[in-house]
Structure 1
Amino acid sequence: MEQIRKLPIGIQTFEEIRRDGYLYVDKTAMVHQIANVGKPYFLSRPRRFGKSLLLSTFEAYFQGRKDLFQGLAIERLETEWEQYPVLHLDLNARKYEIAADLVAMLNQYLEKWELLYGSEKKDRSPEERFAYVIEQACIQTGKQVVVLIDEYDKPLLQAVLDENLLDEYRKILKAFYGVLKSADRYLRFVFLTGVTKFAQVSVFSDLNQLNDISMDRAYNALCGITQDELIRTFGPEIKQLGENEELTFEETVFRLAKKYDGYHFCEDTSVGLFNPFSLLNVFQKLNFGNFWFQTGTPTYLVDLLKQSDYDLRLLLNGVEVTASAFSEYRAEANNPLPMIYQSGYLTIKAYDKEVCLYTLQFPNDEVRYGFLNFLVPFYTKVTDDETGFHIAKFMRELKSGDVEAFMERLKIFFSGIPYELNDDTERHYQAIFHVVFTLLGQFIQSEVRSSRGRADAVVHTPTAIYVFEFKLDGTAEAALKQIGEKGYLIPYMLDGRKLVKVGVNFSKETRNIDEYIVVEA
């Protein structure tokens, strides 16, 4: 029986990974570079992307744990292996419902540090105690202090739609993080990580010396796994997965890339990144599941989308923006895009140097279909559990040629359009239309168009090609006529499969499909 190698699923401690023989993707050359060319850093990356492991690696490095780095790139770069006092704060492990929860978490860490460096200030505010601990750690050890803060924004994210609570968290964290500027002379290294970069909300206003490397080309691959790293580190796992799925090695890598690759955190999109959490899980479970998306439901993103009345079609087709439109989250702005990007549901797919515009799209199929499946209940009456059932039925009905059943099922989705929608009905119905046909793309080729010069949707099955045209408060006959007049079928005339035209009319009054005509060309 082939030896099963250990995959570090859920393990975020560098020492445990190295001590217990888990597979490790070597990022230590970048760790050494960052640790020795600057001091205060900030990195924004999506959840489950390796931020905690990165900080744990810095912790081991600054503790002088040379034994943990044997055989890694940093072993050839570091000669001193000096030991520094390390203060490591992780805000990810608690649910913050009131301000007292945040203070309690800070106190928990402060009490631990005070046992080492003195508790003379234990009755003062958290920021005063933090400043005192840093000063005393430096004085007592004779070495400057390393401060590592993981998920600095966790409390802020949990209160993002509660302005009063958000303001309380801002004030607490502003004062606490502000210590890192006033205590600069006592500090050797500072590194903060989070999902978002909150701007213009006072959190970082006293910490303006931070070097934000979130979009630096040199550190694009600091978290996440490149395809080269995937093949070099996980060759046996790729081979085993391929055998299980009856795929060649190359076909397996292609499937993995389509499902989990595609993240880019700078304008250079030549090297994409795989989600590490999903990769480890697919190798362990030997199936192409939606592992990353299932670990956290982005309810706050949906609330932001609804609150901002954002056009969902922009997320489906890709949106072109400047860097300032997505790289920082501004709480007062009616724009969910920065939060969606920084949370990992959109990524950079292209960059136009001439006009400095970025194109943001879903990074891969796992995120695309997971996000859309999750959104369906918020736009329709179809529940989350029912969505996958209906989409699978859509696919079967078109494959079998039963367009009437397909259209009747589509009415179920449109029946969820709220009664109070009036002027927005068209956009809402178009969003549902786009979501349904995009979700079909996980099973059969389905193209959704935005240009009026092409059909609204084209679906390919093994035996037929379906061309759909939708009208709003028109007639199904007019939609069918447009397919012919505009020549929407011409690109498929030599395909050899059956061509089917479907003209559909959507009524604002009934907020649903009121008529459709199906004609074989």
Structure 2
Amino acid sequence: MKKLPIGISTLSSILNDGCIYVDKTALIHQLVTTSRYHFLSRPRRFGKSLLVDTLKELFEGNELLFQGLAIHPLWDWTKKHPVIHITFNDGVHTDRTQLDTLIIGQLKKNAERLGVKLQEGLISQQFAQLIEDSVEAYSQPAVVLIDEYDKPILDQILDSQRAAELRDGLKNLYSVLKGRDTLLRFVLLTGVSKFSQVSLFSGLNNLNDITLDARYSALCGYTQSELEHHFHDHLKGADMARVRAWYNGYNWLGESVYNPFDILLFVDKGQQFRSYWFETATPSFLLTLLKTGHYYLPQLEYLEVQESSLGSIDIDNIPAEVLLFQTGYLTIHETLQMGNQLGFVLGYPNLEVKLSLTTHLLSYLTPTNSRAPQTSIQIYRLLAKADMDGLRDTFKRFFASIPHDWYRNNSIDQYEGYYASLFYAHMVACGATTIAEDVTATGQIDLTAIVDNKVFIFEFKAIDTEQSSGTALAQIKTKRYADKYRDGRELYLVGIEFSKQTRNIVGFEWEKG
């Protein structure tokens, strides 16, 4: 029997010499011996399903799979627990009827595997019977593993009525876990987001949320040391600093990790830097939330939030920044002490997410005829040549290409940050190194962009008139923003003023620093 590939994606089979085993069982042992009911949120393709599969094999006592791993000498292999494994990972969940059919099918499948015959009845009755009868059959408390517990809701998140119906169906299932302590040895629910206990878990107050528990930050994903040790032969010749910048950085208050999906495909594709994780699913619901919420895109690089706001969401209250964090598009960069509670600074985890999400947002925030992708390519060439007049003309043509009807239909003419957001998005999408709200000793630069040995310092102003006031460039000079970058590189100071009347650039002043 082959050893179970602990803690990695099943995509490990793509590697030429077979599976690579990253042993996470020391963390698993700590988890299963400290408390009983657990919840873990991680983004998609982070190995949650493999973690669930590992726990299933462990509690079923399949000792051969764990020989040579950290947990082997610590585990009582004589105990065989009945494991109830429910997953919502497959398919798109459309309505309550389809969801109920799926749940009943999975309960029956588990019953058949465990040697239990279910009676006809409500889902809650069948689930309760499955737990009780399997405990009696095995003479051991049961283990319940529910993978992607929230996927039915997320599948319909933009349709609040349908999402609420699906939530009620799931609540009907999860409520069975309440008050069965003597029958349950271990419970784990995994998912992407965390919905409030009041709306979904119906009194399951002893659920231990380990999402932001530093001890389990590396439970899913690869740490830097794991990557360098286990993938040493496969990463020969790779620019490791660039690998880290592209794919590392996901953090849940402990050690940061790589997404396994990215690393395995990076190796398989001959060390080509691509957005492997991001391209597996376009986050259309997130794009809609960001657009309707009028978010200032540069702020996503440095977003301060309270700890309590990251705890849970509900169907009728979904702040985009919280969902961005839970789904992996933002991560924790810094912990803050905010009075009597903690706060966090959120930002992009790595270059893959920053480039990909910003590029998608750029296309989403502009009509097709604006040709945003082609404009971004042109912008990089202009920055590389420091062609400031060409840069000005390119942006003016871009904003002029957005029809006034499109502004009215999207109500963005009331949104001052829209212009600067699109400018920022182009700078990121073109491949320049960008720093939004770049901190200096005298204030914050709106945007710093770096291409080769050239540093561009931008200040934005949105004005009500059609005449430039010159205040943007004056602020850069008065506050001596350029001093931070006087290290031998070429410096360009650029003040840009957007007119809310003309919906275009009316002031573009620059000088060499």
TM bracket (short chain): 0.7 to 0.9
The amino acid of 1:76's aligned partner reads: P
| Partner residue, 2:365 | 379
> Following the alignment from structure 1 to structure 2, what is the Cα–Cα distance between the partners of residues 491 and 185?
63
CA distance in 2, matches of 1:255, 1:493: 25
**1:326 aligns to 2:310 (yes or no):** yes
| Matched residue, 2:323 | 339
Q: Output the CA distance in 1 between the equivalents of 2:137 and 2:62.
A: 21
CA–CA separation in structure 2 for the residues paired with 1:275 and 1:109: 29
Structure 2 CA distance, aligned partners of 1:97 and 1:114?
A: 25
**Hey, what's the Cα distance between the residues in 1 that align with 2:160 and 2:143?**
33
**1:495 to 1:178, Cα distance in 2 relative to 1, 3 A:** same
Within 5 A, what are the aligned runs for 1:30-49? 30-49=27-46
User: C-alpha distance in 2, partners of 1:334/1:86?
Assistant: 34
1:192, distance to aligned residue in structure 2 (A): 0.8
* Kept after mapping to 1: 8 A contact 2:164/2:315: no
Asked if the contact 2:249–2:349 (Cα under 8 Å) also holds between the matched residues in 1, the reply is: yes
Secondary structure of the residue that 1:143 maps to in structure 2?
Answer: coil
Contact 1:117 1:136 in 2 (8 A): no
Deviations 1:307-357 (A, max 9, x none): 3334433313x1112211112113332522221111011111111246422
CA–CA distance in structure 2, aligned partners of residues 319 and 51 of structure 1: 27
In 1, the alpha carbon distance for the partners of 2:278 and 2:119 equals 43
Give deviations 1:59-111, integer Å, cap 9, x for gaps.
Answer: 11011111111211112322434211111111010211111121121122122
Structure 1: how far apart are the matches of 2:183 and 2:478?
A: 75
Alignment of 1:431-470 (within 5 A): 431-440=421-430, 443-449=431-437, 453=443, 455-462=445-452, 464-470=454-460
Deviation at 1:383, TM superposition (A): 7.8
Q: Counterparts of 1:7 and 1:112 in 2: how far apart (Å)? A: 25
Q: Which residue of 1 aligns with 2:375?
A: 390
AA aligned opposite 2:74 = L
> Does the Cα contact within 8 Å between 2:197 and 2:204 map onto a contact in 1?
no
CA contact (8 A) 1:12 1:52 kept: no
Q: Which residue of 2 aligns with 1:512?
A: 504
| Residues 9 and 281, structure 1, Cα contact 8 Å, conserved in 2 | no
Matches within 5 A, 1:230-379: 230-239=227-236, 241-242=237-238, 252-266=239-253, 268=254, 271-285=255-269, 286-316=271-301, 318-333=302-317, 335-353=319-337, 355=339, 356-379=342-365
User: What is the alpha-carbon distance in structure 1 between the residues aligned to residue 127 and residue 95 of structure 2?
Assistant: 21
Counterparts of 1:153 and 1:294, CA distance in 2: 21
Cα distance in 2 between the residues matched to 1:200 and 1:491? 48
Quick one: structure 1 residues 412 and 375, their matched pair in 2 at CA, closer, same or farther if it must change by over 3 Å?
Answer: farther
RMSD of Structure 2 on Structure 1 (CA) = 2.9
Q: Deviations over 1:151-184 (max 9, x none)?
A: 0000011122222112211221111111112443
Kindly state the Cα deviation for residue 389 of structure 1 after the two structures are TM-superposed.
3.8
| 8 Å contact kept, 2:437–2:444 | yes
Distance 2:56 2:87 in 1: 12
> What displacement does 1:446 show?
3.5
Identify the range of structure 1 (111-120 vs 139-148) with the bigger mean alpha-carbon deviation: 111-120
Say if 1:456 and 1:235 are closer, same or farther in 2 by CA, change over 3 A: same
Render the CA deviation track for 1:129-171: whole Å, top value 9, x for unaligned: 1111111111122222111110000001112222211221122
Q: 8 Å contact 1:134–1:183 — kept in the other structure? A: no
TM-score by length of 2: 0.88
Per the alignment, in what secondary structure is the counterpart of residue 416 of structure 2?
helix
Contact 1:61 1:81 in 2 (8 A): no
- 1:90 corresponds to: 87
* d(CA) in 2 for partners of 1:445, 1:140: 61
Asked if residue 113 in structure 1 is aligned to residue 110 in structure 2, the reply is yes
Structure 1 unpaired stretches of 5+ = 1-5, 243-251
- Listed one character per residue, the Cα deviations across residues 218-258 of structure 1 (whole Å, up to 9, x for unaligned) are 1111111111111121111121x52xxxxxxxxx3221211
Contact 2:461–2:496 under 8 Å retained in 1: yes
Determine the structure 2 residue equivalent to 1:472: 462
Check if 1:401 corresponds to 2:389. no
Aligned-pair distance for 1:10?
A: 5.5
Pairwise CA distance, 1:194: 0.6
Unaligned runs of 5+ in 2: none
Give 1:363 deviation, angstroms.
0.9
Q: Secondary structure at the match of 1:329?
A: coil
Structure 1 319/86 Cα, relative in aligned 2: closer, same or farther at 3 Å? same
Q: 1:210 aligns with which of 207, 212, 216?
A: 207
Q: Give yes or no for contact 1:413–1:432 (8 Å, CA) kept in 2.
A: no
Q: Structure 1 residue 127: deviation in Å?
A: 1.5
Amino acid at match of 2:488: D
Contact 1:48–1:292 (CA<8 Å) still a contact in 2? yes
Aligned partners of 1:444 and 1:459 also within 8 Å: yes
Partners of 2:295 and 2:455 in 1: CA distance? 32
1:454–1:354 CA distance, 2 compared to 1 (3 A): closer
- Output the CA distance in 2 between the equivalents of 1:103 and 1:397: 57
Cα 1:486–1:358 change in 2 (3 A) is closer
Q: Distance in 2 between matches of 1:9 and 1:383?
A: 43
Does the 8 A contact of 1:476 with 1:516 survive in 2? no
Stretch of structure 1 that moved more, 28-37 or 417-426: 417-426
| Amino acid corresponding to residue 468 of structure 2 in structure 1 | T
Amino acid at match of 1:432: L
**Does 1:129 find its partner at 2:122?**
no
Q: Is the 8 A contact 2:450 2:456 kept in 1?
A: yes
When residues 404 and 220 of structure 1 are mapped into structure 2, their CA distance, relative to the original with a 3 A threshold, is: same
Q: Kindly indicate whether the alpha-carbon contact (under 8 Å) linking 2:7 and 2:51 is maintained by their aligned counterparts in 1.
A: no
CA contact (8 A) 2:298 2:436 kept: no
What secondary structure is seen at the aligned counterpart in 2 of 1:152?
coil
The alignment covers a number of residue pairs equal to 493
Question: In structure 2, what is the Cα distance between the partners aligned to 1:136 and 1:112?
Answer: 14
Match of 2:10 in 1: 11
Map of 1:101-180 to 2, 5 A cutoff? 101-115=98-112, 116-122=114-120, 124-180=121-177
1:425: which partner in 2?
Answer: 415
- Assess if the C-alpha contact under 8 Å between 1:43 and 1:192 holds in 2: yes
- The superposition leaves residues 349-406 of structure 1 with CA deviations (integer Å, 9 ceiling, x where unpaired) of 111246422111111111111111111122222589x544432321111212322332
Structure 1 residue 457 displacement after superposition: 3.5
